[in-house]
Structure 1
Amino acid sequence: MDKTLHIVGGGMAGSEAAWQAANRGLDVVIHEMRPKVKTFAHRTGNLGEMVCSNSFRSDDHEQNAVGQLHWEMLQAGGLIMQTAHAHRLPAGGALAVDRDPFAQAVTDALTSHPNIRISNEEIDTLPDSGQWIFATGPLTSDALGRAIAAETGTEALAFFDAIAPIVYADTIDMSIAWRQSRYDKGETEAEQKAYINCPMTRDQYEAFIDALLAADKTEFHEGETAGYFDGCLPIEVMAERGRETLRHGPMKPVGLTNPHAPDVKPHAVVQLRRDNALGTLYNIVGFQTKMKYGAQKAVFNMIPGLIDAQFARLGGIHRNTFLNAPTLLDAQMRLRSRPNIRFAGQITGVEGYVESAAMGLVAGRMAAAEILGQVLPTVPQDSAHGALIHHITGGAEAKTFQPMNVNFGLFRPVDGLKGGRRGRKDRYKAYTDRAKAAWSSWLGAQTLDETAAE
């Protein structure tokens, strides 16, 4: 019996799916077109390359849904999460990583695995035979996108994704800026000072908004409409929603005290987060943008502390496609019209590195069980993984389906808990306690099945 699993795409989802399947005895071929075929956003041919933020977001597995997803992936021996913890950077309560060593470590782990082979040929059709996982993410090639659209009978849904600029740390004016995590969050001094903060007065903020709104921006091709995922809006789009929007979003001034002027409360604050272990690069948090390069430099150099800043990378925007998963995928993440094909990652309608890797983890296990003739227990809906799968394969309203981060709104309510803000802490803890028990039980059942099979 052929025990080969083919995985298209070597990002977070494809890398995790390969790791999970290979560790269950399958021969895995990762079809990653890079570096032979390049994309707009990638810089290398490494697997698991981070093209936007370097953060996996909150690592709090008691009060945060994405932190619970971290925990579940670690318990399942997830490659992405283990590697992230090995290359983490101080970032308050967030799990940020040194992106280049992280991707190199993911690549080394997969290329050295005896059951994994890498092919750098582009796949542009949907195969009729064999077991496949398509995890091509937001940068699915045009040819493959057309093949998927032809098979599903409708054009793939699309929105636009933006990336934030990265600044050289030694060009930040620290006589104006200061180091501090919001509310001094973090257990160590390094974590409590993980962010660089640039303060703005009211006049500076208003001038910044004016320049942002007037700046030259990337134009879309005729016939394209700009649908954005709300969790990754370009800052100029946020500003267009109201002049105060940024002050209540990425530029909120709360939880911070400027040591250069401790008695003066900033009207707004721009935060930068460390992007590499050396501390030589910082990305501007929440500053995804579609401004043209010249405009970016002019506008961002208006920020106090960044007047002479130099950029290692400017922001940009790219097309991001995803399936209407509730109508196209079954509960095993298989394409209903071609059950030999599974999808995983952002193309399924989840958003974020963590969510993408999580869907790769379960898709890899599902495919391995099917190929090996095993019965994989249903992923429990009360786990963070299960809540996401349920959402994308039937829980969401198909007519209004849009990409979704993991959040407690996807979890089934816990009976007997008070609602409202006062009861939120207890409610979130109840969600994560229940999720841990459900996930541990699911993993334990697979261990028993594998032992019995031997």
Structure 2
Amino acid sequence: MTHDIHVVGGGLAGSEAAWQLAEAGWRVRLSEMRGAGLADGGDTTAAHRTDALAELVCSNSFRSDDAEANAVGLLHQEMRTLGSLILREADRHRVPAGSALAVDRDGYTAGVTEAIAGHSNISLVRERVDALPDGPAIIATGPLTAPSLATAIGAATGAEALAFFDALAPIVHRESIDFDTAWFAARWDKGGKDYINCPLTKDQYLAFHAGLIDGEKTPFKEWEADTPYFDGCMPIEVMAERGVDTLRYGPMKPVGLDDPRTGRWPYAVVQLRQDNAQGTLWNIVGFQTKLRHADQVRLFRTIPGLQDAEFARLGGLHRNTFIRSPDLLDAQLRLKSRPRLRFAGQITGCEGYIESAAIGMLAGRFAAAELAGTVLPPPPPETALGALLGHITGGATAETYQPMNVNFGLFPPIAGKTKKADRKRMYTDRGRAALAAWLNPPAPPAEPQPEDSSPAAALFA
């Protein structure tokens, strides 16, 4: 079958993109290297266990399905509204898990694979793609992109390397920070009050240092062992192991920061830097870590000012492959230097199964509109889809850009003072209204007709 567009990668993003295009009437070639039977063994990844499409590797849950008070639940609802294959099969193979959307993984992946393989507009080809396609294409190869294709992507995007340890520092919701303790300042008052500062006494610092040393860490997987740290980023616990004062001369250095309560420098300080344009999310500077999530929450809440911290993302360190999307992609997910290419899924820098599928859905819909000679405007930033897309294509600078799950910190803030208990519902109500308006835009006003002044018209005046 000849094709109108080539989708590379049969994970959640690629499968969803292919489905959206095929449902719109376009002929799709979907390339998936798993199951190709290549002689060099390069037809699989170290993380996957089957050749099924949209395989869930690490978890059997798409997280919360609560669309009333949860950003990921709202994303589920939006994707169902737009005819998502991934959500359709997840719902069909759902297993009891409270408010979470958990699935029978074998039934779910079989359902996706059968739907894709049986669609009359999709040609599923088991092959490894080693070079970027020349024609219209969506690259959705995920964090374990084959080395040859990763090299080609690096050459096209100017990236020095795409495989590295993705060092993530925790991100805190600003509204959960205690400003009776924390304060805004920059060192020596240079550059404005750009950082939130949380002071520690000597005893607090020593206890925190010990917690870093003693906390349980996530082990490396075998296939991560030879991947270098990105830009030399060291986990904070590795720095702590180099000496008790290492952090006080590094990311927790207090020099030049006068605590307004004492007028003196603290013994140590934890700094947070603004992470998004709205100022709702703040990154804990230098705190990339391999601590287990439970230990992170427990330990980081011992920091004065963060005792009630709510985390939009916890720290992590793992092998990843993604591009500098805010610099490289436009609002339609096209590579600016080669607009016939779109990117989707985790390679764009979104985090999570459902987020990957969501970006695949948007890439497919954008491409379908373009093939039809029209332009689909991006979903509004008040929607979960729009907020996630905005983060990828413009919500951060390339220098600070890191993978992110969908969360309300990516949405435009709710105007005015609101009760915390009501705010999440306000986000979801606003998001549903914005999606409805996007799907049903008002008709343009009719153009005025020229007045008919002919003699015949006068007869009927």
TM-based fold match above 0.5? yes
Q: Is the 2:6–2:136 Cα contact (8 Å) retained in structure 1?
A: yes
Match of 2:53 in 1: 47
Deviation at 1:389, TM superposition (A): 0.9
Match of 1:134 in 2: 139
Give me the identity figure in percent: 54
The amino acid that maps onto 2:417 is K
The amino acid that maps onto 1:430 is M
Match of 1:193 in 2: none
Match of 2:16 in 1: 16
Task: State the TM-score, normalizing by the size of structure 1.
Answer: 0.66
Distance 1:44 1:62, change over 3 A: same
CA distance in 1, matches of 2:443, 2:80: 16
Match of 1:146 in 2: 151
Task: State the TM-score, normalizing by the size of structure 2.
Answer: 0.65
Match of 2:398 in 1: 398
Match of 1:431 in 2: 427
CA distance in 2, matches of 1:374, 1:158: 36
- Whether 1:30 aligns to 2:30 is yes
Which of residues 86, 104, 112 is equivalent to 1:106? 112
Q: Is the 2:216–2:292 Cα contact (8 Å) retained in structure 1?
A: no
Match of 1:57 in 2: 63
Distance 1:21 1:93, change over 3 A: same
Match of 2:452 in 1: none
Q: Is the 2:164–2:229 Cα contact (8 Å) retained in structure 1?
A: no
Which of residues 226, 231, 250 is equivalent to 1:221? 226
CA distance in 2, matches of 1:243, 1:135: 36
Which of residues 81, 90, 99 is equivalent to 2:87? 81
Distance 1:97 1:238, change over 3 A: closer
Q: Is the 2:130–2:149 Cα contact (8 Å) retained in structure 1?
A: yes
Aligned residue for 1:368, secondary structure, equals: helix
CA distance in 1, matches of 2:220, 2:387: 41
Q: Is the 1:63–1:425 Cα contact (8 Å) retained in structure 2?
A: no
Aligned residue for 1:7, secondary structure, equals: strand
Q: Is the 2:166–2:229 Cα contact (8 Å) retained in structure 1?
A: no
Deviation at 1:244, TM superposition (A): 4.9
Match of 1:357 in 2: 357
CA distance in 1, matches of 2:344, 2:440: 23
Deviation at 1:431, TM superposition (A): 1.1
Deviation at 1:72, TM superposition (A): 0.1
Match of 2:7 in 1: 7
Which of residues 130, 135, 145 is equivalent to 1:124? 130
Gaps of 5+ in 1: 163-205, 248-287, 290-316, 449-454
CA distance in 2, matches of 1:408, 1:355: 14
Distance 1:210 1:109, change over 3 A: same
CA distance in 1, matches of 2:441, 2:358: 19
Question: What is the aligned-residue RMSD (CA, Å)?
Answer: 3.6
Gaps of 5+ in 2: 37-42, 168-209, 236-282, 303-314, 445-461
Distance 1:78 1:241, change over 3 A: closer
Q: Map 1:195-206; keep pairs closer than 5 Å.
A: none
Match of 2:417 in 1: 418
The amino acid that maps onto 1:324 is R
The amino acid that maps onto 1:353 is Y
Give the total of aligned pairs.
Answer: 331
Q: Map 1:153-232; keep pairs closer than 5 Å.
A: 153-160=158-165, 212=216, 220-221=225-226, 223-225=228-230
Q: Is the 2:380–2:386 Cα contact (8 Å) retained in structure 1?
A: yes
CA distance in 2, matches of 1:25, 1:370: 13
Aligned residue for 1:102, secondary structure, equals: helix
Q: Is the 1:235–1:246 Cα contact (8 Å) retained in structure 2?
A: no
Match of 2:185 in 1: none
- 1:58-81, CA deviations, whole angstroms, 9 ceiling, x for partnerless residues? 101110000000000000010101
Q: Is the 2:351–2:403 Cα contact (8 Å) retained in structure 1?
A: yes
Match of 1:97 in 2: 103
Aligned residue for 1:399, secondary structure, equals: coil
Distance 1:217 1:236, change over 3 A: farther
